[in-house]
Amino acid sequence: MTDRLFNSYTLPNGSVIPNRIAKAAMEENLANAKQQPDSALFALYDAWAKGGVGLMITGNVMVDRYAMTGPGGVALEADSDLAPFTQWASIAKQNNARVWMQLNHPGRQVFKAMGGKNLAPSAIALDLGKHSSMFSQPKAMTHEQINDVISRFVTTASLAQQAGFDGVQIHAAHGYLLAQFLSPLTNKRSDEWGGSLENRSKLLLEVVKQVRQHCGDKFDIAVKLNSADFQRGGFDIDDAEKVIAMLAQYQVDMVELSGGSYEAPAMQGRSADERTLAREAYFLSLTSQLVAKSTIPLMLTGGISRKAIAEQVLDAGFVMCGVASALAFYPTLASLWQTQPEYSPQLPRVDWQNKTLAGLATMAMVKRQLRRMSQGQAPQTNDSPLWCLVVDQFNTKQRTKRYRHQLGITHG
């Protein structure tokens, strides 16, 4: 009997992914002062390329250097030097994995300390309780700004194609800009970009349509979409089903399902609407209706670290299994599953009462391992969450100063 996880998969456009395990995107914060990849990201992706995954999705690459999810992020714009991106793609593809660049705009999820642009469909600030002051009040976008964002996604996708990436994944999940337009909680517009789900989906659909027109039929185009926001009255599973149906007309090759936002970090196993999420494959039980109805191949990400769980994802009808945090601690996990099917990695978990700080500490622990790999070192699983958070906060402050100085940002 063949091992399904290691069977190839042919995308609708005819491209072949060598196996069903994807490295899903993680926030890496390893770019240089010019928001470019360099030796640190090259070393990290070299480690993953040797680990046996069939598909690599980069950490989010921003379409506007003045709108970043954090300092140390990568940005790719019209005037960017393509050479380091070409090298990045080449390293990621060295073992025949396909590699997609994840494209993103944070919208209102820009830390106040960063300055720069803080845009949203409507002027609604993030509600993180006593931590809300970490983010400023966003400005509602003008039509001109909406059109600028669309053209930026197209430009970045075209440059990714020129640099040798096999495709792009357009990030419309986790509370970033495209997800903000999709959600009735954050999109209160009364023009053609708001109101009905069709109108709230228009920005995502327009980005996908124009990227397809500019990059052609053979370029892989994927979308990352929330199965739900996990906030009462927000974007939910029925909305996701309808959006997937709308995306089908634009030859989307895959939709990756995730969930949550900064306000409800379900992608870390926490919800804000009292829904219970499983410890592994968080979204599997919620997404069966999407698999049953979708004409687009689906990938599931969220808390997957054991082969048996990955196989359950395929059994449920998903064509790819996305692994994120587990690959930060065990970069060769895919290869280990081939030789040791019962191998069960031990991942640290932060169970603090304060969900916002627990989420930040979880991300800090993951980023510490990515930094280790970027320096040619092995990841560790016994770090102190508090120490990781303190070090990450210090590093973030230093990188924020560097970012603001580099871009000449004085406000915010």
The pTM of this model reads: 0.94
Q: How many CB atoms lie within 10 A of CB 134?
A: 14
**Rounded distance, CA 62 to CA 149, Å?**
11
Q: How many CB atoms lie within 10 A of CB 242?
A: 13
pLDDT in single tens digits along all 412 residues of the chain: 458 999 999 999 999 999 999 999 999 999 999 999 999 999 999 999 999 999 999 999 999 999 999 999 999 999 999 999 999 999 999 999 999 999 999 999 999 999 989 999 999 998 888 878 888 899 999 999 999 999 999 999 999 999 999 999 999 998 899 999 999 999 999 999 999 999 999 999 999 999 999 999 999 999 999 876 667 777 888 899 999 999 999 999 999 998 766 666 555 555 554 454 455 555 677 777 889 899 999 999 888 899 999 999 999 999 999 999 999 999 999 999 999 988 888 888 888 888 778 888 988 999 999 999 999 999 999 999 999 999 999 999 999 999 999 999 887 5
4-347: CATH topology: TIM Barrel (3.20.20)
The token pair at 186 is 């954050």
**Rounded distance, CA 103 to CA 286, Å?**
26
**Rounded distance, CA 230 to CA 248, Å?**
25
Backbone angles phi, psi at 224, to 5 degrees: -100, 125
Backbone angles phi, psi at 396, to 5 degrees: -65, -40
Give first-to-last CA distance, the chain, whole Å.
59
**Whether the Cβ atoms of residue 136 and residue 112 lie closer than 8 Å to each other:** yes
Q: What is the pLDDT of residues 184-224, one digit of tens each?
A: 999 999 999 999 999 999 999 999 999 999 999 999 999 99
